[in-house]
Every structure is written in C-alpha cells, then in structure tokens.
Amino acid sequence: MYHPQNQPFPKDFLWGASTSAYQVEGASLEDGKGPSCQDVKQVPAGTSDLKVCADQYHRYKEDIKLMAEMGFKTYRFSIAWSRILPNGTGEINQKGIDYYNNVINECLKYGIEPLVTMFHFDMPAALDERGSWGNPESVKWFVDFAAILFENFGDRVRYWLTINEQNVLTLSGPVIGTLHLPEGCTNVLKEIYQQNHHMLVAQAKAMCLCHEMLPEAKIGPAPNISLVYPATCKPEDILAAQNFNAIRNWLYLDMAVYGIYNAIVWSYLKDHDATPTFAPGDEEAMKNAHPDFIGFNYYNTATVEAADFDALTETANATLGDQQSGREIPGVFRQIHNPNLPKTQFGWEIDPVGFRATTREMYSRYHLPLLVTENGLGAYDTLTEDGRVHDEYRIKYYQDHLAEIQKSITDGTEFLGYCPWSAVDLISTHEGMVKRYGFIYVDRDEFDLKTLDRFKKDSFYWYKRVITSNGEDLSDLKPEEVYD
Ligand code: BG6
C-alpha cells in the first residue's frame, strides 16, 4: 500500500540495541559464575570459545557510556542464569546479583531503560545434567529463577523478555549448542516438542508471576519471527508456506498470546506421535498468561515450496538449518532461496519489505504492540589504520529496515521500540567473532584477543543522528557527522 505521507515514529519510541550475556560478557567462570551449556559445548571448528567474548563483564561502564553517547533510550541485555545461580537452582551467587545491579544502575544513570532477557540460549550446565528442558521440573527451575530476578531487579527494570528465540531452540537447537537429548531417546521429535512445551509453560508462569510481583512492569516473549512466503502461487506451495508459518512462527505466538496450541502444528505432531504431555495445571497456566507486548527478532523472511512425502527419505532429508535458512521437512515444506533477495556475506537473505509484511501480519493476528528485539547485519568489518570502520553496508541495511518499520507504523502497526543486533561486536552463535554486528567495534580477532579496545563504527554516528531525530532523518551519513 502506498502512503502519500508516512507517520512519524512514536514520541517515546525505545531506540536501543541488544546483546546477550554468553556472547558479550566473557568472564565465563569468574566471580562464582557456574558453567552454562555454552561454556561446555564444542564450539564449531575455526571459531572462538566463549571465555572472553567482548569482555563486557569488565567493560560494561565503557560500553554503556558509548550507548549513552549514541542516545540510547534502552539497552537489551540478558542475565546469565548460571551467574545468578551457579547450579541453576539453590544458592544465589551474590557477585552475580551485584554485577547486574551495576549494569542496571549504570544504564539508569544515563536515562537508559534496561530491557532484560531472562533466558538467552544459556541453560546452566548443572541443569543440562538433570535433563535440561526435558525434565518436567524445568518449569519450576525457570519460575524460581524468574522470582529471583523480579525480586532483585524489579524495582528498576520495567521491561522484561522471557525466552529468547524459543522457536530457534526448538527448530535449530544443535546449531546453537542447546539441545540436550536423553540417552536412548527413540522419538526425537516428541522429546523436542516436550521440551518446547515445558518452555511454553515456564514462560506463561513467569509472565503471570511478573504481573503479580511487579504490577507496573511489562513482559513479553522474544521469538524469531519471519513471515514465510510461498515459492509460487501454486496451491501446494501456499499450503507449504502455511505449514512453515505455523511451525516456525504462530505456534509460539498463538500460545504466548492466546494460550492455545496452533492446530496445524498439533496435527503435524500427532502424525509423528510427538504431541507433548500436559502436566496438571499446564492448560490453565497457559491460558492465564497475557503478554503486554510482543518482542521479536527479525532478520529476514523465508520462502518455501511443497515437499513431497517419502517415508524412506523422511529422516534423511529432515534438515535443521540455522536460525534463518536451510530447513526442510518432507511432506510439510522445503525452504528455498528467494531469487528476489540479496544475501549477506554469511548467506542470510536481506528483506526489508518482508519486515513490514511480517509486522503487519503479526499485528493483525495478535493486536499487541511490537518491540523489535533484534534485527541486523553480520559482516566482516575492517578496522582501518586510523581506527575507523566504514560500514556503509550496515547503515544501508538499517536505513532500509527502518523505512519499512515507518511504513508499517503508517499501516497502523503499533511499535514500542527498535533494538537491533548488536550494540557491541560479540561472538556469533555459530560463526565466530568475524561475523560482526555491532555499532561499536571490539578490537580482537577470532583467536587473538588483542586490546579489546572499543572503536566507533560509521554506523555508530549514523544511529546517533537517527535517534536524535527520532527516526525522522534516515539519510546517509555526512562526512561532518563523523568523528570527534
Ligand atoms: C539470533 C540470536 O538468532 O540471531 C542471537 O538471538 C544471534 O543470539 C543473532 O547472535 C545473530 O545470529 P548469528 O548466528 O549470526 O550469531
């Protein structure tokens, strides 16, 4: 739809950016922190481990000062469960509480609203040993952890996110290093969707608890949502797109918002004897939970075609792909490359218009304000001799995506804020340090930690102006705007 004039971004729009604890903090076993699944996993060959990352644990003051300089209204970061509870349950590590108190207070000092993710891919290793999300007790573990967070930080944190990308944990757990399967598991799909069910219940209970303990606070989920396009107008492709939309997107939001299982997904699980078992009270808990907004990560759309079912090749062909690409389930859908879209250096498609389409669809399904919790471009950045990073490709990516958000606002979609990935360079989920996303460059290589000093990329200066103008001025960076 063409609008002769776009609506402005809302007055109190939360401009900011995101990180996650295990990718940015480092200090992976310092000051009493217990290991998480990320600390004990085998990292992909050729990529750094997660011991130091961007060393934000020791440099949060410097980082938050730089965020303040960009004019951030919010900073989305996650709390490492095993920093607070080294064993996942039981004794609290006071130094962990102190650290996040410091981060929160530092944000508030600059008027930056802390936006806290309660769980971002980092199950305490001690709980993995007890069966991870497959253990029905995991619901209680998470709710108890949530209570500690609300109790200790709820006087200052007004915005909470439950589980980062639960759909990615479910669909691509092995790529992210999070899937824990019990020995001798014979129906992997059933196990995975049982784990998924426990997360859904845990999330629902945490949302209710948040509303009980912190009536002024707002809480929402943070899945990775990408509208799925059909490859053609062939009716079979349309069905395939509906299938993947349900499996990838709507399962998570139908449950978070309406407390119901998506019917298409339920029938797919039934076909594979993989429907989850409900514990007494689960149904009620899921119905009682009501998010205040939908947080979501958007990188690009997906495109699928129909995939014939062939029982013989079903298992062999069922591929997981990563967060954004390469999935196939025989008889359900097959993801293909969309020939209309360019790709990043790391092979992810770029689709700003799809951002508008995704948000329009989400808003018309759920009627809740949207908070973009991730969006961004992973690229090989280069630090020049004079300490600059000319990342005009990242600026272009953000210009295009923000322009589409503005059109979506004009279409009538309600947005709370925009927190791209990432505030600071950090370690990618499975592609190492060289895949950089930040506005702030961190001086280290994949294996050489170098100085870990911070440098402002060109996108830093550009985003600063975007925030100052409340999104009114998205134009190219001018030479006089750069460098201080
Ligand atoms: C999201 C995650 O999947 O995308 C982040 O929430 C992640 O943790 C980001 O880093 C970018 O993905 P990647 O694989 O490039 O690090």
Q: For the residues 371-384, what does the mean pLDDT come to?
A: 98
338 has pLDDT over 90: yes
pLDDT of residue 324: 78
* pLDDT recorded at residue 459: 98
Closest C-alpha to ligand 1, atom 5: 429
The closest-lying atom of ligand 1 relative to the alpha carbon of residue 168 is 3
pLDDT tens column, 61-95 = 999 999 999 999 999 999 999 999 999 999 999 99
pLDDT by residue (tens digit) across 138-191?
Answer: 999 999 999 999 999 999 999 999 999 999 999 999 999 999 999 999 999 999
Nearest to 155 by CA among 100, 96, 99, 217: 217
Share of the chain above pLDDT 90, in %: 94
Ligand 1: residue of 428, 430, 436 to mutate (most ligand atoms within 8 A of CB) is 428
Does 389 have pLDDT greater than 60? Answer: yes
Rounded distance from Cα 184 to ligand 1 centre (Å): 31
Buried b (16+ CB within 10 A) or exposed e, 273-290: ebbbeeeeebeebbeebb
Residue 404 annotated among the catalytic residues of the structure: no
pLDDT (0 to 100) of residue 314: 55
Tens digit of each residue's pLDDT (9 = 90 or more) over 215-271: 999 999 999 999 999 999 999 999 999 999 999 999 999 999 999 999 999 999 999
Other CB atoms within a 10 A radius of the CB of residue 224 amount to: 23
Segment 45-68 shows an average pLDDT of: 98
Contacts of 344 (CB under 8 A, 6+ apart): 350, 377, 378, 379
What is the average per-residue pLDDT within 357-361? 98
What would the pLDDT profile of 443-462 be if each residue is shown by its tens digit? 999 999 999 999 999 999 99
- Closest protein CA for atom 14 of ligand 1: 429
pLDDT at 311: 55
Summarize pLDDT for 406-434 with one digit per residue, the tens: 999 999 999 999 999 999 999 999 999 99
Residue 359 in this model has a pLDDT that exceeds 60: yes
Distances (CA, A) of 10 to 102, 113, 415, 478: 30, 16, 8, 25
SS (H, E, C) the chain: CCCCCCCCCCCCCEEEEECCHHHHCCCCCCCCCCCEHHHHCCCCCCCCCCCCCCCHHHHHHHHHHHHHHHCCCEEEEECCHHHHCCCCCCCCCHHHHHHHHHHHHHHHHCCCEEEEEEECCCCEHHHHCCCHHHCCCHHHHHHHHHHHHHHHHCCCCCEEEEEECHHHHHHHHHHHCCCCCCCCCCCHHHHHHHHHHHHHHHHHHHHHHHHHHCCCCEEEEECECCCEEECCCCHHHHHHHHHHHHHHHHHHHHHHHHCCCCHHHHHHHHHCCCCCCCCCCHHHHHHHCCCCCEEEECCCCEEEECCCCCCCCHHHHCECCCCCCCCEECCCEEEECCCCCCECCCCCECCHHHHHHHHHHHHHHHCCCEEEEECCCCECCCCCCCCCCCCHHHHHHHHHHHHHHHHHHHHCCCEEEECCECCECCCCCCCCCCCECCCEEECCCCCCCCCCCEEECHHHHHHHHHHHCCCCCCCCCCHHHCCC
Question: What is the mean predicted confidence (pLDDT) over 113-131?
Answer: 98
pTM: 0.97
Beta-carbon contacts of residue 267 (< 8 Å; ≥ 6 apart): none
Residue 222 CA, closest ligand 1 atom number: 6
Amino acid at 475: S
Mean pLDDT of 2-15: 97
Residue with tokens 């958007």: 298
Residue 318's pLDDT band, with cuts at 50, 70 and 90, is low
Model confidence at 122: pLDDT above 90:
yes
Ligand 1 binding pocket (C-beta < 6 A) is: 20, 23, 164-165, 168, 224, 297, 323, 374, 378, 421, 428-431, 435
Residues in the chain: 484
Report yes or no: 110 and 71 within 8 Å, Cβ to Cβ: no
Determine the residue type at 124: P
316 pLDDT above the threshold of 70: no
CA of 484 to the centre of ligand 1 (A): 31
Which position among 191, 349, 374, 404 bears the catalytic label?
A: 374
Cα(215) to ligand 1 centroid in Å equals 31
Which is the catalytic residue, given 25, 106, 113, 165? 165
pLDDT at 325 over 90: no
Ligand 1 centroid – CA 292 distance (Å)? 24
Q: Ligand 1 centroid to 283 CA: how many Å?
A: 31
Furthest-apart CA pair in the chain: how many Å? Answer: 63
Catalytic (active site) residue 374 = yes
pLDDT at 34: 98
